[in-house]
Structure 1
Amino acid sequence: MEGMFMTTGSMVSVVPMDPALPGVHYFTATPDPERSVFKPFIFVKNAHELKETSSPSFGPDDPVKKKPRFQSKPDRKHPLFVKHELIVAIIDSYKERGQKITEGLRQLEKETMKEMEKLLEVGVEVPDIWVNLFSGCVQKELGLYSKS
């Protein structure tokens, strides 16, 4: 959503007609879907914590837990969000470099969609492949940002 405030992410879900196939949920985990990669996620057992897309924890020092509450405002941006902010600033400031980054993001998204179509078409013998699907794509996106 542009304008008054930024959203924290966007999502698209694909629910197959075949009940044997899993539903695939694509998340950006960043506030600007136009300058993000939709990354696939499938709900599975043994899913790991997604550190690159989880807000930092402040434990007992969290302003939410202190009294009086909310006397300070910690930065709760997760690592992917922080990198995304930097990349958006580059895209906005440097036309040629920004275009190259955007092309890289679209290419990564296309490759990911092709992989998902193939996996859903032929099936997966080892369901554990789904466990790291989202975090693997986050790593690829962060790698793309690092090259920029």
Structure 2
Amino acid sequence: MHMYLMVLKIISLGNITFETMMEILRDKPSGINMEGEFLTTASMVSVLPQDSSLPCIHFFTGTPDPERSIFKPFIFVPHISQLLDTSSPTFELEDPVKKKTHFKPDRRHPLYQKHQQALEVGDHNKEKAKTMLDNMRKLEKELLKKMESILQNKHLDVDEIVNLFPQCTKDEIRIYKSNISS
């Protein structure tokens, strides 16, 4: 309840930033970022500028526990790259679940799989977990600066934006893999 009142106060003052909202979504003591029996499955923050010449920027984790995830920016532009690393597997012919009633296919997308593997390693090695989180926050900070620059300079490089979210996802997977293998 305390965090809820803080959010209302920030909103009423009109000075909430996307970084502030991300911090709020990462807060575990307030219960906003849930773990245990109920789990936060993914988080999203959107920047919806009043100036129609500016793009709306949506930040997605695509993974549970925003405290241990990166908010990756997504901007709708024509010819956006396919989001393979955050798409659940599909089955070309027939869904195996329909053929075998006890079959449970792994429908986790590649980002989710690496996220879970890295968290398991981090739960047993606090030093690795800290290094991973530091690398994640560094990447996220760079992404936030880049999005802030787009909003301030009113310049959108569409050729770069079509690959923005998939590239950010690959960068996050790279961080998770380095935590798993090191």
Query: Whose relative contact order is higher, 1 or 2, with alpha carbons under 8 Å and at least 6 apart?
Result: 1
In the alignment, the residues of structure 1 paired with residue 101 and residue 84 of structure 2 have an alpha-carbon distance, to the nearest angstrom, of 24
Is the contact made by 2:150 and 2:156 (CA closer than 8 Å) also made in structure 1?
no
In the alignment, the residues of structure 2 paired with residue 120 and residue 111 of structure 1 have an alpha-carbon distance, to the nearest angstrom, of 14
- Map Cα deviations across residues 86-117 of structure 1 (whole Å, 9 max, x no partner): 11112211111111111111111111101111
Alignment of 1:1-148 (within 5 A): 1-63=34-96, 66=98, 70-124=101-155, 126-148=157-179
In the alignment, the residues of structure 2 paired with residue 145 and residue 31 of structure 1 have an alpha-carbon distance, to the nearest angstrom, of 14
**How high is the sequence identity, in percent, across the aligned residues?**
49
Please give the TM-score of this superposition, normalised by the length of structure 2: 0.73
Structure 1 unaligned blocks of 5 or more:
none
Root-mean-square deviation (Å): 1.8
Aligned residues: 146
Please give the TM-score of this superposition, normalised by the length of structure 1: 0.88
In the alignment, the residues of structure 2 paired with residue 5 and residue 77 of structure 1 have an alpha-carbon distance, to the nearest angstrom, of 18
Q: Which SS does the other structure have where 1:26 is aligned?
A: strand
In the alignment, the residues of structure 2 paired with residue 33 and residue 141 of structure 1 have an alpha-carbon distance, to the nearest angstrom, of 13
Amino acid at match of 1:75: D
Structure 2 unaligned blocks of 5 or more:
1-33
Is the contact made by 1:30 and 1:36 (CA closer than 8 Å) also made in structure 2?
yes
